[in-house]
Structure 1
């Protein structure tokens, strides 16, 4: 489970460990510092890898976090406003909604590369 708040913080906790429910009480683990400058505009969790992708509304950044080590694996800043994000279950692709277009992108080791653009505004 991932939780955000007004202070731009991010917490996480596993609800299931080895297909067993951990119980009704949850101890959230703080990522330790501010995730973005300003509001967190969206989160998407990968199914196959321990990563989460977050977007910042004010700083126009996309960050990929490892939720097991609580480390930032990748940061990319864009020129356009970011409205939404969705991460592919493999963690290799993402769709990011900008003010001017919807962009299908490939996640590389050190950057996020544009693969295809769709002329859909404000999504």
Structure 2
């Protein structure tokens, strides 16, 4: 299987570790991109958000310090374009991990969703 699976992850994130463990147990080769040091660009987000099938607001890590620092009221008042620029500037603001493979983009780790994506690749 070609190594066309990209996982944007944070080393200190337990959910990211669970996703990587799942991929390893399934024999899925993947590349890791540190989401804090190298967050997605505005251009990448412009492609990935529509491919994820969820709104930009679902990309927010609402339990993180970056979100709390902005405040719910400011986030609620922000336009989608503002949110995208914030996500591109601060990888900790993004719900993680983000998995990108082919035309599929998954935000967060749900084993069932991962299983559906990789079931056809066996």
TM-score bracket for this pair, using the shorter chain length:
under 0.3
Answer 1 or 2: which has greater helix percent.
2
Higher-RCO chain (CA-CA 8 Å, sequence separation at least 6):
2
- TM-score relative to the length of structure 1: 0.23
- TM-score relative to the length of structure 2: 0.23
